[in-house]
Amino acid sequence: MLFTPKYNIIVVGDRNVGKSTLIYGKLKNKFVDPLPPTLNTIQTDINNQIKLNVDSKPAKLFNWEYPFWLIDTDIVYNKLKSVVYSHCDLILLCFDISNKDSLASISEKWIQEILIFAPGIPLIVVGLKSDLRKDGEIWVSRHEGKQMADIVGAEIYLECSAKTGIGINQVYDEAVRTIRKIPHNKTCTIQ
């Protein structure tokens, strides 16, 4: 029987940027609007397992969506944050390209937390809702997204649209490639 490595990905970002829709879009290969907001749960259900074949090698990804009740800075929550991040192989730092504040939160809030609770874990910055970008509108540009990825030390910057499906496979394929580049003694995998 062929061994299939299992990796854990945590999807973080501000509320309503499209994290659940990204995960659901990959799991179900369809867009649902509106998708109910994710509240007070960590998505650990076995149904959140994604089986992939990246570069002719199998992989299984488990998506964990960051629970918003952990945003509080209370010491009890900090202990829970440590647990949430402890089994993580990669973090998808997500923002909504139609919301510049959500991009700013990556450097102002999320990276600060990641440096405390998940130092050394590889990052991918992902601009969500790319289907909303229109010529002449003031959205986050690809250049601004790439700059943020460089600032926070992310491996790569990607964009996708759960609505159209464009770019979703690339996000998950690059996640697997990024994890595979890490020496095995630096990752925490659940088998």
Q: DSSP letters of 61-117?
A: EEEEEPPGGG-S--HHHHHHHHHHHHT-SEEEEEEETT-HHHHHHIIIIIHHHHHHH
In a domain, 181, yes or no: yes
CA 35 to CA 32: how far, in whole Å? 6
What CATH number corresponds to the domain at position 165? 3.40.50.300
In a domain, 17, yes or no: yes
Domain that holds residue 147: 6-186
Query: What pLDDT, on the 0 to 100 scale, is given for residue 69?
Result: 42
In a domain, 1, yes or no: no
> In this predicted model, what pLDDT tens digit does every residue of 113-156 receive, in sequence order?
899 989 999 999 999 999 888 766 678 999 999 999 999 999 99
Question: How many CA atoms are closer than 13 Å to the CA of 158, on its beta-carbon side?
Answer: 21
User: Could you tell me if 19 and 128 are in contact, meaning their C-beta atoms sit under 8 angstroms apart?
Assistant: yes
CA 170 to CA 159: how far, in whole Å? 9
Does the model's pTM come out above 0.85?
no
Task: Evaluate if residue 55 carries a pLDDT over 90.
Answer: no
Better-predicted residue by pLDDT, 181 or 28: 181
Q: How confident is the model at residue 65 (pLDDT cuts 50, 70, 90)?
A: low
In a domain, 170, yes or no: yes
In a domain, 82, yes or no: yes
In a domain, 142, yes or no: yes
Coil vs helix vs strand at 34 = coil
Both tokens of residue 104?
């700013």
Better-predicted residue by pLDDT, 20 or 41: 20
Coil vs helix vs strand at 134 = coil
Q: What angle do CA 22, 26, 31 make, to 5 degrees?
A: 65
> In this predicted model, what pLDDT tens digit does every residue of 75-92 receive, in sequence order?
556 667 777 788 889 999
In a domain, 178, yes or no: yes
In a domain, 112, yes or no: yes
> In this predicted model, what pLDDT tens digit does every residue of 161-180 receive, in sequence order?
988 999 998 999 999 999 99
Which element (helix H / strand E) includes 152? helix 142-152
Number of independent structural domains in the chain? 1
Better-predicted residue by pLDDT, 24 or 147: 147
57-65 and 49-54 beta bridge pairing: antiparallel
